[in-house]
Amino acid sequence: MTDMAAGGLRVVTLECTGCRHQALHELGQCATGDRCVVAMSGRQIDRFFRANPDEAAAYLDDGFWERRAIAARYAPLDLIDGLMHDPDEVVRRVVAGRIPDERLMELIHDPDRDVRAIAVQRLPGEQVEWALRDIDYLVRMFAVRKVSHGLLRPLIHDPEREVRKAVAQRLPPFALGVYATDPEPEVRRIAASRMLPPDAARLLDDDDWSVRLAAVGNAPLDTLAQRLAREEDEEIRGAMAGRLGV
């Protein structure tokens, strides 16, 4: 049987027999196939707790990981501490996004990289230096975006491209010349768009056209004037002309 209305009353279906929430069902606060906490469906469970947030606390120790994770989104903060070490990483990610700031340092050794990454994103910059040495590049990348410039030097030549890209976006312009020979065009392109004019001029001969185009925005005008006539790429030539006003 399916959920239906008869004479303005909610009809309890066979699926609801024995459910602890029959009273909610009769009030229209849950519905089979739509808002159902016992369904093995994250969407239905979420809709149930959205309509009945006061019920979430009762499911924080449920045997189904997804039900615990969704309940943790709605339960009072003072009740989710026990899930900081839940066996499922999805549950711990939800908790990491909700616990008070003063508890975040308890998560820096969590085995799941996403839990650590959430902690890094929420912690103030002066408390994330540990993450610069994390084994996972994602955690290091988020840390690079928050720490002071003086702490970035060890990661300038990080083996992961995404970390170097983050560093290139944060280093002061005078320090970006170090990336003129980076093996990844994306890193060189970011550096070229921010570096000092003499360093940008070096990248006008880069093998990658997008790096050369980014360098045009910072290269000295006299250098661009000398190269304009012999530039073969139409888009780069147009960017040079735009900067020169010709």
Q: What are the tokens at 169? A: 């976006």
Question: Taking the model in full, what pTM does it have?
Answer: 0.85
pLDDT digits (tens, 9 = 90+) for 19-58: 888 888 878 888 888 899 999 999 999 999 999 999 999 9
Distances (CA, A) of 134 to 53, 109, 145, 166, 168: 36, 10, 14, 15, 19
**Tens digit of pLDDT per residue, the chain (246 long)?**
344 444 444 444 446 777 888 888 878 888 888 899 999 999 999 999 999 999 999 999 999 999 999 999 999 999 998 999 999 999 999 999 999 999 999 999 999 999 999 999 999 999 999 999 999 999 999 999 999 999 999 999 999 999 999 999 999 999 999 999 999 999 999 999 999 999 999 999 999 999 999 999 999 999 999 999 999 999 999 999 999 998
Residue in the block written with tokens 């020169």: 244
pLDDT digits (tens, 9 = 90+) for 101-110: 999 999 999 9
Is residue 129 within 8 Å of 147, Cβ to Cβ? yes
Residue in the block written with tokens 């147009």: 238
